[in-house]
Amino acid sequence: MEKILQLADYQIVLGNALDNLKAFLAQQSYSQIFILVDENTKQHCLPKLSNENDSIINDANIIEIESGEWNKNLTTCQQIWKHLLAKNADRNALLINLGGGVIGDMGGFVAATYKRGIDFVQIPTTLLAQVDASIGGKLGVDFEHVKNIIGCFNNPKTVLIDPAFLQSLSQRQIRNGFAEVIKHALIADADYWTQIQQISELENVDWTAIIYRSLQIKRAIVTEDPYEKGVRKILNFGHTLGHAIESYSLENDADPLLHGEAIAIGMITELYLSVENKIFSQKTLEQLLPYFSAIYPKYDLTNIPFETILAYLKNDKKNKGQQINFTLLQDIGQAVYNQQVTEEGMMGALEFYQKG
């Protein structure tokens, strides 16, 4: 049974993606339809959007790019823009982004900037994108190894979420998205956290219920603060140190951390900083740590110079002037933003993670 969440000017529809896409297109009149995929979603997800009696895919232009965060850059954007130009896409064209966070972030950015903006639809196919990345209109790409530093705000025409796509994901990709589920609970809903703590095996989860609750939380936050001037900043919990570590890993590791893996590290370190700032209980921190350890493998920070992490932190979008801003926790379900932390505190947080 489909579920609908209404935002200011678009809907999130949770249900069968093909049925909901057909219903959406029946109300529109686009000159051309383009579908952005990578090699994985072309193989595993694109066939789910078509059947023998339907011409949506047969008539659409497929744009394929290479998967991976390291391809979320302006060079790949140029490839997509060139394809749109070569096919004479006008301002009444539609771009459907079929994929995870990389496809959604970059495809949305390309659509928002091509001919000053064409419509786009998000069809997120990973748990990470379904619970977080496809919602809220934040679009962008990485530049000079800094995550999401080039981008804009622009809303899709609709977001179509189908949990059936998750069947094609590895357990690592499920863990990747589950970090954002944990984050939603910790920043906004203590009861949700109690529910999530009962999940020990990610193979057997009612993802529809989990996705829907996470979407409710994020919708409430982005509706109140669409351009991240205030309360929306609580969604950055785990993302300050987490993004810095992710950026380092993308630049230096043969098998880089996935976003959620880095954010899990970020949440542990920022929980430590919450205690250090005397707003969070040490006892509660100690109760939370085993859950993270049970799900996320340890990452070795030993050989990363703090100066390197600090350089990434200084380029964080959330900064104001030279001040690095953090979102920290006061309690489970209660986050506070624009929190200042010393360099010594940040070093201590990284050491705390490494020793844990």
**Residue 52 falls in the annotated catalytic set:** no
Structure tokens at 302: 């030993």
Question: H or E stretch including 151?
Answer: strand 146-153
Kindly name the residue from 175, 183, 184, 239 that is annotated as catalytic: 239
Kindly name the residue from 48, 138, 147, 184 that is annotated as catalytic: 138
Kindly name the residue from 48, 175, 213, 218 that is annotated as catalytic: 218
Q: Decide if 314 contacts 321 (C-beta within 8 A).
A: no
Kindly name the residue from 48, 83, 175, 232 that is annotated as catalytic: 232
**Residue 22 falls in the annotated catalytic set:** no
Kindly name the residue from 20, 175, 228, 277 that is annotated as catalytic: 228
Kindly name the residue from 183, 213, 233, 243 that is annotated as catalytic: 243
**Residue 184 falls in the annotated catalytic set:** no
- CA 112/CA 324 separation, integer angstroms: 29
- CA 310/CA 229 separation, integer angstroms: 24
Which residues, at least 6 apart from 278, have a Cβ–Cβ distance to it below 8 Å? none
Strands 11-14 and 334-340: unpaired
**Residue 233 falls in the annotated catalytic set:** no
Neighbours of 83 (CB within 10 A): 18
- CA 108/CA 125 separation, integer angstroms: 15
Kindly name the residue from 52, 53, 116, 204 that is annotated as catalytic: 116
Kindly name the residue from 83, 147, 180, 318 that is annotated as catalytic: 180
Mutual angle of helices 343-355 and 306-314, in 10-degree steps:
120
**Residue 236 falls in the annotated catalytic set:** yes
Kindly name the residue from 175, 259, 276, 318 that is annotated as catalytic: 259
**Residue 2 falls in the annotated catalytic set:** no
**Residue 243 falls in the annotated catalytic set:** yes
**Residue 219 falls in the annotated catalytic set:** no
Kindly name the residue from 20, 97, 176, 236 that is annotated as catalytic: 236
> Which residues participate in catalysis according to the annotation?
116, 138, 180, 218, 228, 232, 236, 239, 243, 259
